[in-house]
Amino acid sequence: MNKVEKILTFNVKEQLLSILLPPISMARMSTTTLELTDVNGNINHTPNENISMIKTSTVNLTSSEDDSTDNTISKKKSFFKRYIELLKLVFQSIIPDLKSFNWWQVLILILFAAFNVVFSILDFNSFFPNKQRYSILKWTNDLMDGVPLWRRILLCLSGFAAFTNVLNVVLVIRGKISSFFWGIIGAIIYGIFSFAYGYVGDAQLYTLFFLPMQFIGIYMWSKELDNQSTTHVKSLKLFGWIFIIILCLGLGVIFFYEIPAFSKLLTSHYLFQTMLLPHILDALTNTLSVIGQFLLIFCYWEQYIMWIIVNIISIIMYSGLLGTELNINVLLVMIMLCINSIVGLYTWFRRWKNSNRTVKM
């Protein structure tokens, strides 16, 4: 067969296929045709190369969205992995940080912790005739007052909470990240105890604020540790003090109305409802505690100014000078905490001064 015959044969076969299979041919054409109608109603046929461009751009858009999602997931995974490593660092530093104390520091720590545990077990208010307490033991007094067993068990655990809180505040003074481990334990136990005994201000402060702030503090302090696993110390500027004052006023107003509402929701009454000045001081202590905790996790030495003010206000409130009830146990604990805060102020301020001299040299 010559070349001309081959061409004729091919054309005949092509015509036969077009006659026998017209629907298939039409269907194929429709899949490759894109019609666009303009404002005047005219139909514009889009060339095949434009179709491929539209398809390509659509694929690229989907691909970019997938990449963005993958990047977000990857960042979250890396953050959680890093935070787990930080938790390991906290656990690994517990024993070395405790061993870093000198013998006289260990002695003071033991005495300080022992006093706090004793005050959580013994009721020194029983020495005052007007208190009409049954025994020096808080357990016995609660039993005679009809306090449920589960609350009395929590009272025993409050002694352990006091011990962990002492370790927390002492290790914070030393700038050790393991302080947050003891802070977590103390916030959980004392928070539950406060809820059980109706200490509304402490209850919400420890469970709803101090507890989550311990985990945030671990992350923030990890960025400020030196080669001895001790945090650096910073100082507030003028703008920082202005912000603190504005924040103090705002939070003070919020707590003034929030604490009584929360107290009535929890215990159906508020202790300082009819006493304006103790009511204001109660809101102020919560406000300064919140600000002090923020300054703590951001490593500012001015946190101890807040803690000293909180302790002084608490001493006044529990001394009975404002018409409030005298509570010897809380009063003595607050006096010791105030001394601790003064030591912390001196220590952190001196470290900040020394770090400034080192940088200038």
Q: Tell me the per-residue pLDDT of 98-118, one tens digit each, with 9 for 90 and over.
A: 888 888 888 888 888 888 788
* Residue 28 pLDDT: 43
This prediction has a pTM of 0.75
Tens-place pLDDT, residues 23-40: 444 444 444 444 444 545
Whether the per-residue pLDDT at 302 is higher than 90: the answer is yes
Query: In which band, very low, low, confident or very high, does the pLDDT at 171 lie, cut at 50, 70 and 90?
Result: very high
Query: In which band, very low, low, confident or very high, does the pLDDT at 238 lie, cut at 50, 70 and 90?
Result: very high
Whether the per-residue pLDDT at 16 is higher than 70: the answer is no
Pick the closest to residue 121 from 148, 108, 140 (CA basis): 140
Structural domain boundaries, residue 152 = 72-226
- 198 and 273 within one domain: no
46-64 in b/e burial notation, b at 16+ Cβ within 10 A? eeeeeeeeeeeeeeeeeee
Q: Which residue has the higher pLDDT, 262 or 14?
A: 262
Q: Examine the fold and report which residue of 198, 226, 254 is the final residue of a domain before the chain moves on.
A: 226
DSSP label of 127: G
- 216 and 263 within one domain: no
Show Cβ contacts of residue 52 under 8 Å, excluding neighbours closer than 6 positions. none
Whether the per-residue pLDDT at 226 is higher than 60: the answer is yes
φ/ψ region of 236 (left if φ > 0, alpha if ψ in -120 to 50, else beta) reads: beta
Q: Is residue 286 domain-resident?
A: yes
- 265 and 161 within one domain: no
Whether the per-residue pLDDT at 15 is higher than 80: the answer is no
Q: What is the mean pLDDT of residues 186-210?
A: 85
Show Cβ contacts of residue 267 under 8 Å, excluding neighbours closer than 6 positions. 198, 200
What is the number of H-type helices and E-type strands within the chain?
A: 14, 2
**Contact by Cβ (8 Å): 292, 313:** no
What is the spatial distance between Cα 227 and Cα 326, in angstroms, rounded to a whole number?
47
Enter the tokens of residue 167: 């370790």
